[in-house]
Structure 1
């Protein structure tokens, strides 16, 4: 378990992390989300003792990371997959870490097999693709068989098969009772992977809830309707207090009126429906809505 209380980090006058308090619990995948510059990487570095908090504290299984007796056995982390000596093979990179942490040599072969690099284990890592480098970084995180796993953008560079693999790996690790903490900008992937979400903006915590709660709390419930009597139904819905938007495909998008009420209006007035379906917002849509005031960098679609 990871616990932060009042965690704060300042760089001069800039506050990168501002009074963050949260708990990352075992047995689930916790997604860590936020716009660029929100403080995600700084927070993860403080958890791992790579940056010292200006104030507040963060502990791993009740102790600061620096005070863990065998840190690699407690926490496995992927923060920068490129932080590997390019002249070493994948095997010797892992073997060096295993030997300096009193881990058995067989563990190297085990994690290489898990990440699918056994056939290229003796090749120098400088020739690895971005995706292969990610797999080696994940193997490094798994080497100590830790109870806590931290991944920063783990699907970066992976092909569709690799993305599905890491998604299932994270879920299986959580199912074993481990703590899995993952930061990512890919909302669609987090929607399929995470059980719980921590969302920060400008260094502050703005959401701590399940994925379902996050989407429901930051999106508008809508109903999609297809009917040959669209003008008549639109008038009825508007009269009942709903809002109707005509979509390019001919369907109607109804908000501010429950789906059951829309169906009743059609039935009571003899209108035929071809489709009546709830529209659930995606995690990406809900995230954009919640963080729209926390985005630090804005691009432009003006002339190039």
Structure 2
């Protein structure tokens, strides 16, 4: 478990992290979310003792990380996939890390195989793609077989197969009882992967709770309707004050009316319904709503989120 208590970091007059308090539980994947400039990378560096806090504390299994002599056996981390000497081979890079942490040489071959880099082990890192560097960084994090793992944007540069592999890896590591803390801007992946969320904005805590609880905090609710008679039902709904769009599967997406009212209108006007479902906000929708006041560089233009042309014609 990772425990963060009143963690604060200031750089001169700027406060990057302000009194953060949360726990990262073992046996779960915890997503770490926030807009650009929210203080996520600074928080990760404070967790690993790479920067000293202005105030507060972070402990990993009850002790600060800096007190651990063989760090890779206690905490594995990927903060920057590009932070590797380009002249080294993948094998040499991992072998140096293994020796400094008294990790057996055989473990190097094991993690190279686990991340799919066995055939590239003797190639110089300078020739690696970003996706290959990410895999090498993940291999380094796994090298000491640690109980706690931290990842900062681990999906950057990975192809769809790689993203799917990482998703499965994180779930497996958590199922083994490890603590897995993942900072990412890819909401769809966090929605598929994370159990808990820690959300920050402008260095302050917005939420520390389960993914479902966070999504439920959004006030956005829509009703999905599948009907063969959409041209009849749509004006009936808009006359009641609803906004009506469509999704990629041909459903009407209704906001401003609840499902019971939509069903009553359809019944009264004898409109056949094949589906009537209430939808809560997606993680991305909840995130955008709940962090709107924490954006470092907010834009002044709003783009439509429903699958509808500005004219109201479906795409």
CA contact (8 A) 2:246 2:253 kept: no
CA contact (8 A) 1:173 1:180 kept: yes
CA contact (8 A) 2:24 2:181 kept: yes
- For 1:138, the equivalent position in structure 2 comes to 138
Deviations 1:221-247 (A, max 9, x none): 1113344532674278x3xxxx41132
CA–CA distance in structure 1, aligned partners of residues 210 and 14 of structure 2: 30
CA contact (8 A) 1:244 1:252 kept: no
CA contact (8 A) 1:196 1:209 kept: yes
Residues 298, 23 of structure 1: alpha-carbon distance in 2 compared, 3 angstrom cutoff? same
Shift of 1:280: 3.6
Deviations 1:251-292 (A, max 9, x none): 654335432343244335533224423334321111111111
CA–CA distance in structure 1, aligned partners of residues 25 and 140 of structure 2: 22
Shift of 1:217: 1.2
CA–CA distance in structure 2, aligned partners of residues 270 and 55 of structure 1: 65
The structure 2 residue matched to 1:246, chosen from 233, 244, 247, is 244
Worse overlay, 171-180 or 187-196: 187-196
CA contact (8 A) 1:230 1:252 kept: no
- For 2:105, the equivalent position in structure 1 comes to 105
| 2:200 is the counterpart of 1:197 | no
- For 1:230, the equivalent position in structure 2 comes to 233
CA–CA distance in structure 1, aligned partners of residues 234 and 181 of structure 2: 49
SS in 2 for 1:166: helix
CA–CA distance in structure 2, aligned partners of residues 179 and 117 of structure 1: 25
Deviations 1:53-102 (A, max 9, x none): 10011111111111124221110000011111111110111111111111
CA contact (8 A) 1:223 1:279 kept: yes
Task: Please give the TM-score of this superposition, normalised by the length of structure 1.
Answer: 0.91
CA contact (8 A) 1:196 1:211 kept: yes
CA–CA distance in structure 1, aligned partners of residues 234 and 185 of structure 2: 41
- For 2:308, the equivalent position in structure 1 comes to none
Shift of 1:298: 3.4
- For 2:277, the equivalent position in structure 1 comes to 277
| 2:116 is the counterpart of 1:116 | yes
- For 2:177, the equivalent position in structure 1 comes to 177
| 2:47 is the counterpart of 1:47 | yes
Deviations 1:128-172 (A, max 9, x none): 111100100000000000000000000011111001011110110
Worse overlay, 222-231 or 35-44: 222-231
- For 1:215, the equivalent position in structure 2 comes to 215
Residues 203, 270 of structure 1: alpha-carbon distance in 2 compared, 3 angstrom cutoff? same
- For 2:310, the equivalent position in structure 1 comes to none
Aligned residues: 296
- For 2:68, the equivalent position in structure 1 comes to 68
Residues 235, 128 of structure 1: alpha-carbon distance in 2 compared, 3 angstrom cutoff? closer
Deviations 1:18-65 (A, max 9, x none): 000000000110000000100000000000000111001111111111
CA–CA distance in structure 2, aligned partners of residues 93 and 156 of structure 1: 21
SS in 2 for 1:293: helix
CA–CA distance in structure 1, aligned partners of residues 77 and 273 of structure 2: 53
Worse overlay, 248-257 or 32-41: 248-257
